[in-house]
Amino acid sequence: MKFIDLTHTFTNDMPVYPGDSAPVLKQTATMEKDHLISYDIKTGMHVGTHMDAPLHMLAGGKKLSDFPAEKFFGNGVLIDARGKSVVDVDVLNGADIQRGDIVLIMTGFYKKFREPEYYHSHPGISESFAKKMVELGVKIVGMDTPSPDLPALPTGQAGGRQVKAPFAIHKILLGAEVLIIENLTNLEPLLNHKKFEIIALPAKFEAEASFMRVVARILENMV
């Protein structure tokens, strides 16, 4: 059985969305002094590879902890959108997407994860594409970018975060309880596999989002 990790490693110098507080991952005990090793963490939820729940954008929306475990497992479908600044429905030609699938959009932009332009010039998806995902009944849409919405000039502030209204793509997906994974990495190896399952487990926080680990389990040649 083969697994492919699609998750950025959580580090103390993890880049964050402009305006968000930086994570702090700090060692608090050592083997020499305490006879064990321990770390503390202080972080927002929208760091590294993470998942957004409806509450992130919709008043009264569900938290991640409101969803059953089966929401986070499903057949994976990879959409190759490399070279696209806007991912539209034309990239779905030939794609076999079934209700309950987990759709991953590969733009290749994850390679700029630690560069300043990552948060300011990333690709996004069109409203037509988002509505098609809802129509098809997918569980989750994931991207190797910081947002499914295109970057835009800031129009306001919220808790220090630059708000890029109106987050239309987030609202289309989350309004239909299609969860969103942002900041995926290492999607290219999936091009070599036609059949794989996605395991996308966020921590069970009573919150609007959570960092997570996303893994593809290759199903080809399994008995």
pLDDT tens by residue, 115-170: 989 999 999 999 999 999 999 999 999 999 999 999 864 544 445 554 455 899 99
| CATH code linked to domain 2-218 | 3.50.30.50
Q: In whole angstroms, how far apart are CA 63 and each of 48, 104, 195, 203?
A: 19, 22, 30, 12
Q: Max CA-CA distance within the chain? A: 60
pLDDT (tens digit, 9 = 90+) per residue, 63-81?
A: 999 999 999 999 999 999 9
Which of 215, 209, 166 is CA-nearest to residue 186? 215
Q: What is the pTM of this model?
A: 0.93
Helix axes 168-175, 127-136, angle to 10 degrees: 10
- Region 179-193: mean pLDDT is 97
73 DSSP β-pair partners: 199
Tokens representing 222 are 């399994």
